[in-house]
Structure 1
Amino acid sequence: MKQTTGEKIFQTVLIVFITVMCIVMIYPFLHIASVSLSSPAEATRFGIHLYPKEVDFTGWKQVLAQEKIWIGFGNSVFRTVVGTFLTLIMMSLCAYPLSRKYLPHRNVYTMLILFTMFFGGGIVPTYLLIRSLNLMDSVWVYIIPGLVPTFSMLVLRNFFMSIPAELEESAKIDGANDIRILFNIVLPLSKPVLATLALWSAVGHWNAWFDAVLYITDQSKQVLQFFLREIVITNADRETLGNSAIGNIRYEAPIKAATIMFAILPILVVYPFLQKYFVKGTMIGSLKG
């Protein structure tokens, strides 16, 4: 179809806007990657950094040689993998009954769960609750308090509601119970939304650091983002990496950049495998309320 002048102008403006947004989002990543692979003089040079003009792997070597960084990496992987898996299981067990019309008072239960999205106890009551549950200095404090994120659970519930009820009825005629229907019929049909929610949960777990500050004092149970914060924000290079890691204050910028890249790359590797489900799962899960 032939486009009108207004449509051509709108399309041009849209392309320019998207291009600018892509540049704004991609440049910081290229800048950090370039600085992490640059020599100290090049890393501290004022101006645009799109690629390392003087390649130097010292920053990466110093970061990868530190035991604390690998301890944090292992704890972050555990938190992300186990937390995401358990979150999907618990969300499914919660969302499925709320999506069935025959559940008594399901609207009341839904409203009570929705209430938690808007009102919370705050930091102090939450801290007291965590302490009373004996979760202080435990890796499970990363997972259990946020096991069922309300918004994600409601998205999953809406998706379950869009699945034809006839599938469930035919399965019950064949003798299947609710658990078997959920795991053999409903969840296999929900791969797009489950992949989307898994990505949300994984990114949330991987980037989280505040709960580590509040509830963990044992350095062997700290996550990678905690050490990243110590290095980049609080400028505690020598305390976090050790005096031998810095060697020369000139390598401060490459070490910080390499630490940031080390924390970013794992989640970037996961994202392409779930990207194809992302838009589809988000849209389908939000259609029916």
Structure 2
Amino acid sequence: MHIKPTLGSRAFDTANLIVLTLCAFITLFPFIYIMATSLAPLQQVLRGGVILWPEQVTWDAYTTIFSNAHFVRSLYTTFFITVVGTLTNLLFTTFMAYPLAKKRLKGRRIILFLVVFSILFSGGLIPSYMIVKSLGMINTVWSLIVPGAISAFNLIIMKNFFQSIPEELEEAARIDGCKNLGVLFRIVLPLSMPALATFTLFYAVGHWNQFFAAVIYVTKSNLWPIQVVLRQMIIEGSTQEFEQAMGELKIIPTTIKMAAIIVATVPILFVYPFLQKHFAKGVLLGSVKG
């Protein structure tokens, strides 16, 4: 039976729509402004003539940053860290979470206690730096991948997700002749796509936005990821490499800074549409069962 909405409910829905539209616009406005500024001529930006879209579109800022070898190299470094780091995270997290999901594993409670303990207490920055240095990873991209190979929080969620998969499916696979790895790759992982998609997004965004670890462990500018280079451009106003490219201009123009922000932001946004159908389900599954 169809119930006709009342005047009050229609007014409430309309008010919700207006408020949510305003919130969406407020959220998107900074991004739109940055994009408009990056596409505008420098003279128009300096006189404050850019709000939502420039009067004249020019790609000079993007041409400048992509012609700079230092910026392009940092972009390649970030892509490498994101792809290799995410695969490493998923591999190690899966291989540790799956056996911990089995109650028959000896020493399981002790290992889980240590995992939870690492969430509450950490060794600190100096011990972490000393470990990375002793392993010879200073000024290498591996210092941005290996120390964070496993997230303790994500590990617990993944373990809970594996526990929600019926044991009967694994037993049936073993009867058919599957070994432990066969059960994991043929039965468990295909059923775990929502969780894997969620953690892929979390890990990938974390690696793409890698900044603090790069500042601590990497001092060579040719190994900086894009976020560190962006920080040099925005906060310090220039970099040695861009000063050489700018010639007489000692401060990077605003249009180039905005173009760099767009280039550093947009690529990771394209990851979400491919994982969207699994994301909402993956965020919830495994989080309510201990």
What is the number of equivalent residue pairs in this alignment?
288
Greater shift after overlay, 134-143 or 166-175? Answer: 166-175
Larger relative contact order (CA 8 Å, sep ≥ 6) = 1
Query: What TM-score do you get using the length of structure 1 for normalisation?
Result: 0.92
Q: 1:104 aligns with which of 103, 106, 113?
A: 106
Residue equivalent to 2:95: 93
In structure 2, distance between residues paired with 1:288 and 1:246? 61
In structure 2, distance between residues paired with 1:62 and 1:2? 59
Residue equivalent to 2:253: 252
Deviation at 1:13, TM superposition (A): 4.7
**1:80 to 2:82 alignment:** yes
2:238–2:250 CA contact under 8 A, matched in 1:
no
* Cα RMSD after superposing both structures: 2.1
**1:189 to 2:179 alignment:** no
2:77–2:226 CA contact under 8 A, matched in 1:
yes
Residue equivalent to 1:41: 43
Question: Residue type matched to 2:149 in 1?
Answer: L
In structure 2, distance between residues paired with 1:144 and 1:63? 30
In structure 2, distance between residues paired with 1:5 and 1:97? 57
Deviation at 1:173, TM superposition (A): 2.0
In structure 2, distance between residues paired with 1:271 and 1:14? 26
Q: 1:5 to 1:193 in 2, by over 3 A?
A: farther
**1:215 to 2:217 alignment:** yes
Deviation at 1:246, TM superposition (A): 6.0
Query: What TM-score do you get using the length of structure 2 for normalisation?
Result: 0.91
Residue equivalent to 1:270: 271
In structure 2, distance between residues paired with 1:27 and 1:245? 30
Deviation at 1:253, TM superposition (A): 0.5
Deviation at 1:210, TM superposition (A): 1.3
In structure 1, distance between residues paired with 2:85 and 2:19? 37
In structure 1, distance between residues paired with 2:38 and 2:21? 26
Q: Percent identity?
A: 38
> Which aligned pairs between 1:5-154 and structure 2 lie closer than 5 A?
11-46=13-48, 49-154=51-156
Q: Which runs of 5+ in 1 are unaligned?
A: none
Question: Residue type matched to 2:191 in 1?
Answer: L
State the secondary structure of the residue aligned to 2:139: coil
State the secondary structure of the residue aligned to 1:146: coil
Residue equivalent to 1:161: 163
Q: Which runs of 5+ in 2 are unaligned?
A: none
Deviation at 1:23, TM superposition (A): 1.3
Q: 1:134 to 1:249 in 2, by over 3 A?
A: closer
